[in-house]
Amino acid sequence: CPNPRPRAAPHAPPPMEPREQRRIAVTARLRPVLGAEWGREVAWAADSASAVVSDIRTGDSWSFDHAFGPEVDNNGLYSACCSEVVEAFCDGVNGAVLAYGQTAAGKTHTMYGPDGIVPRAVESVFAICGAASADRDFAVTVSFVEIYNEQVSDLLGDREVNVLDGPRSGTVLQNLSSVAVSSTEEVLKCVARGESRRRTGETAANSRSSRSHALLLLGLESRVESEECVRCSQLILADLAGSEGLRYTESTSREQRREGSYINRSLLALTQVIHALSEGGSRSQRVNYRDSKLTRILRPSLGGNAQTVLVCALAPGAASRHETRSTLDFAARARRVENSVCVNIRHDASRSEQQFQALRRELTDLRFKVAELQGSGGSCGEGRLADLAQENSELRQKTEALQAALLANGQEGPFAAARAASPCR
């Protein structure tokens, strides 16, 4: 993994194009029966054809955009519900894929397992960029954060990250490392490095339970050489820690019970945000994103400017019927939430700065020539002096216009470190 660069930058780039209303797309995934579950009651069934999950005992059912049973592998899930988000991300649209569900339901396997969402998404990004037209250049960055006990940590830079309020109701992740990458292999090395630092522990439900939320952030900037505008987008790939009932934590250590308490608290905040948004509440007044670091960071993906997919992982056993019903109810509400999506376009401040400096140098040269002519008593003729004065005036106007554009554009985009990376092709 290349050396990370710490920075403080807006969490999501500002939208500049017409918006489109898009619902959060919801996928339910029922994992296979595992280990001690063999021989016990199976309480749930998923019908891929009708995209319905049913309670076998009561007949209650929930409909989603997709519903997959144990017969569908990671590759099939990605192709059906995640590839569109990744393609839009490469076109300048923010995206998010969130894995949600109780502990031991298969979230981490879905995200990071063989042909999981993370490796498939990364491969797709570089494949799409490599196949794009030759006159468009791409640059990619990666960041990796962990939310543990309401503390946000940089998994690539091994430092604490401050979550601050930014402009336009955005979020700033202060001290977050951003690594410029140019291949799938470089990203996956960063992922492996971050995963090795992520906190896990053994619980009654899972021998290697994630004790934190992990969010992989991919940034993409692209531009055509002849244009001054840059398309910039962010893709969030989130493996959320699982909700934990008391029976899963009562026999564990005091520290693990504390971890479980923080996990449940942040997931409750997420549930309340989804509930408020599903009721059509005003995002600026009724939706309380500030109750958790998780909801603050995910704010652009929840009712904001992002194309979002929610993958809800389900356990099949009757022992977890209560947790599974809770997950299904959450998923049904999330499906009613609408995001306002658009292509993000930013003025290229670095290119404008170069043009500005070139004009300043040209203006200085012209002023020197005018001074020389005036000192020589106008021996080259009044016509030539008037021409130089006209050029001087025109260059001054161009310089002032570029300077105004730079001021209006403000700070550099959130993925400025990507400019140092090699193009994807």
Asked whether residue 101 is marked as a ligand-binding residue, the answer is yes
Residue with tokens 């260059």: 395
Asked whether residue 102 is marked as a ligand-binding residue, the answer is yes
DSSP string across 283-346: TTTT--GGG-HHHHHTGGGSSSSSEEEEEEEE--BGGGHHHHHHHHHHHHHHTT-EEEE-B-EE
Specify the amino acid at residue 266.
S
CA dihedral in degrees (331, 22, 300, 193; nearest 10)? 70
Q: Quick one: how many helices (H) and strands (E) in the chain? A: 11, 20
Phi/psi-derived region of residue 201, left when phi > 0, alpha when psi is between -120 and 50, beta in every other case: beta
Residues 197, 170: Cα–Cα separation, whole Å: 28
Map residue 245 onto helix, strand or coil.
Answer: coil
DSSP string across 48-98: TTTTEEEETTT--EEE-SEEE-TTS-HHHHHHHHTHHHHHHHHTTB-EEEE
DSSP string across 331-381: HHHHTT-EEEE-B-EEE-HHHHHHHHHHHHHHHHHHHHHHHHHHHTTSTT-
Burial class (CB in 10 A: 0-12, 13-18, 19+), 9: buried
Beta bridge partners of 267: none
Asked whether residue 108 is marked as a ligand-binding residue, the answer is yes
Helices (H), 91-179: 107-112, 117-131
Residues 228, 237: Cα–Cα separation, whole Å: 30
Asked whether residue 104 is marked as a ligand-binding residue, the answer is yes
End-to-end CA distance of the chain: 19
- For Cα atoms 55, 332, 328, give the angle at the middle one, nearest 5 degrees: 40
Task: Give the residue among 257, 309, 333, 243 at the shortest CA–CA distance from 62.
Answer: 333
Q: Per the annotation, where are the binding residues for ATP? A: 101-108
Q: Per the annotation, where are the binding residues? A: 101-108
